[in-house]
Amino acid sequence: MTKRKILLLICICVISFVLPGCRRSKKPHILLITIDTLRRDRLGCYGYSLNTSPFIDQLASEGVLFKHAVTPLPLTSPSHASILTSLHPLTHQVMHNSAVLNPEIETLAEALKDKSYYTIGAVAVKHLSGKYNFSQGFDSFSDHWDPGIKDWKGVAKHFVGKWQRVAKSVNISLIEQVENYLDKHFNKPLFIWVHYFDPHYPYIDREDIVLSRKKKQWIQYDKEVRYTDNYIKKLYRFLEKKGLTDKLITCITADHGEQLGEHGFGAQHVDFYSETTFVPLIFHGFKIPQNKIVEELVSTMDIGVTLLKLANLNYKKPVDGIPILKLGGKLAAIRNREQLIVEDLRRVRSLQLISFPYSYILNFDFFYKSWFFTGKSILREGRFKRIPNNWVTVKYFDEKDCYELRMTFPYAYTYGKGMNFAVLRFEIEKNNGVYVGFKLNVSKWLEPFYINDETKSVTVFFPVTAADQLTAFIGFKKGAKFANLEYAFLPRKEFLGYTQSTKEIESKEIYGELQTLRKFKSSDELYDLDSDIEMIKDLFKSKKQIAEAVAAEGNRQIYELLDHYLRKIKEIMGRSKPERALTEKEKEMLKSLGYF
């Protein structure tokens, strides 16, 4: 080899080392884009007539589009937790916005970082911030922003700016993070999670974007989609310029959709009809097949495990999602799986099972209007069990010199269609201000009922369904004493036999807080998604016999899936729920009450 050739070879090696974009990682780079509140039917690649998504449409035509992808809970925090962990919300237990993701659960970023990926994240809303542990596993995470970064004509209303940052601000933070990666960590494969919030209400009327004439509110939504599409393109072109797209896998999806007048709601996603539960899902890039459309039903729970599979990696523990693409990018053999959809349990008292082509909605009966108290022990002794210690915590209110004994009943104890009742029973040996009450899931504590001095035996009935986690509480002051603290569960039919011997306590607060928003329906619903994707024609009204047959099987599948996901909590986290050991002071207090 001549000296000239040797020098040329040396130069090539030096250039490939110095220029990060020229170095090729053995693993693919990964870009995960989640767009808040994005309806799939507002994208051109899903058949929309307006030009809302030219860049997303381009990526879809060059990649794989999943036609029927659903979210397991159409709400921002729970849905994103499922995307990042491949777990169902009933498993990871992020059931509402501003809930904290349990640090014991492995995230996509952790799994990638553990295998030498450099991980970058940027979010556009507060309840996905590090405060709620969504930064877990990221080397660099942007969740603080300057509300002064404005676009077009500034910010819309007080919500935008304080809670949300626009796509322009998100991209600015991401570009800074990527530049830092290229400067210091370019020898590692790169994972980016970017979250855009712009299609979420309130909408900015972006007058620079011209689409068509429609109802003002809905054209504003379409403009927000186009605005987000523009900034996704800007981000992608930046990565392309930096030489990061040659081995880049891009996944685009949404946490949930949006109701734009359907089913009685506008600019909301408080329900789980198709406009909120079906979301776009697109894979594009390195070794991904081009121009493919997949008809089978998939879930956003499949995203994390699929991205890991494409990098030849796995989560450390079993997950609820499955890889829908194989290593090397080929389509996996997917069968239509039953999908259990739950909602924000503070607002929607229903469960949905999608078993293609049917969508079956189990609406629990009207309840929460009353809870029931009696001073008599009306159930036979064999029905009751002692409340386990790990269900119990003690809360002290210094300003009132008052204690509360709080008992949390696991979900698994409330199975059964419609309304059931949890029963709490105890004996009062000394009463100096004892009261009882309850709350469900994450609702506020409800007004308690104070027990008079003459009452010695207390039995309280709390309404629950399979969707509820109940916390009951007994309040007292130091010196009170009660014994034989026990619980039982009753089906509604059995409970009705005791109502004449109970005192009904009306509570409009309970009823208003927890009644369903689903047009106040208590009857079940069934829709054929093949012929009625908008879920308008309830088959219980037109084909009742068919609907009842499908519903019978649907009920069985719903409760099987509930059982599966709730048992999975222990498998993933090592226990059914995080438990806090009682302090010595709390133990002494419980002993003085006669509890131990």
CATH code, 375: 2.60.120
Do 380 and 466 share a domain, yes or no? yes
| Same-domain pairing of 76 and 120 | yes
d(CA 593, CA 141): 48
Which one of 515, 544, 579 terminates a domain? 515
Are 392 and 318 in a shared domain? no
Q: Are 55 and 232 in contact (CB under 8 A)?
A: yes
Q: At residue 497, what is the residue type?
A: G
Domain span including residue 448? 370-515
* Three-class SS state of 145: coil
347 belongs to a structural domain: no
Same domain, 392 and 268: no
Residues 401 and 329 in one domain: no
326 and 380 share a domain? no
pLDDT of residue 67: 96
CA torsion 541-545-550-552 (nearest 10°) is: 110
**What is the predicted pLDDT for the residue at 10?**
47
pLDDT of residue 214: 61
Is 302 within a domain? yes
**Per-residue pLDDT, 16:** 45
Mark whether 390 and 271 lie in a shared domain.
no
Per-residue pLDDT at 508: 47
Within-domain flag for 533: no
Residues 546-556: b if buried by 16+ CB within 10 A, e if exposed: ebeebbeebbe
Task: Please tell me the predicted confidence (pLDDT) of residue 42.
Answer: 95
**Quick check: is 547 in a domain?**
no
- Does 124 share its domain with 210? yes
Could you give the dihedral angle defined by the CA atoms of residues 215, 221, 223 and 228, in that order, rounded to the nearest 10 degrees? -170
Q: Give the pLDDT confidence score for residue 24 in this predicted structure.
A: 52
Examine the domain organization and report whether 131 and 274 are in the same domain.
yes
Instruction: List alpha helices for 105-166, DSSP H.
Output: 108-113, 159-162
- The CA distance from 292 to 294, in Å, is 7
What's the average pLDDT block by block, 10 residues per block, for the chain (596 residues)? 52 45 71 97 95 97 97 96 96 89 95 97 94 96 78 51 81 95 95 95 79 72 94 98 96 95 81 93 96 96 98 94 93 90 78 93 65 69 80 78 82 57 86 82 67 85 74 85 84 69 48 52 87 94 92 89 79 56 74 66
pLDDT tens-digit map of 20-55: 444 455 899 999 999 999 999 999 999 999 999 999
- Residues 301 and 161 grouped into a single domain: yes
Q: Residue 513: CA atoms inside 13 Å, Cβ hemisphere, count?
A: 16
Q: In terms of Cα–Cα distance, which of 436, 38, 5, 415 is closest to 224? A: 38
Which residues partner with 362 through β-bridges? 351
Q: Which DSSP helix (H) or strand (E) runs through 91?
A: helix 89-92
Quote the number of domains for the chain: 2
**Where among 481, 515, 549 does a domain terminate?**
515
Residue 80 makes CB contacts below 8 A (sequence gap 6+) with 34, 128, 134, 195, 255
The answer to whether 365 and 418 are in contact (CB under 8 A) is yes
For the record, the structure tokens of 47 come out as: 């058949």
pLDDT value of residue 14: 44
CATH code for the domain in which residue 271 is found: 3.40.720.10
Domain boundary among 456, 481, 515: 515
Burial label for 349, CB within 10 Å (0-12, 13-18, 19+), is buried
First-last CA distance in the chain: 87
Beta strands in 58-214 (DSSP E): 64-70, 118-122, 140-142, 190-196
- Tell whether 168 and 275 lie within a shared domain: yes
Q: According to the model, what pLDDT value does residue 147 have?
A: 64
Same domain, 331 and 375: no
**Does residue 566 lie within any of the structural domains?**
no
Q: Which residue has the tokens 């509300």?
A: 147
In a domain, 437, yes or no: yes
Q: Is residue 565 part of a domain?
A: no
Residue 562 lies in a domain: no
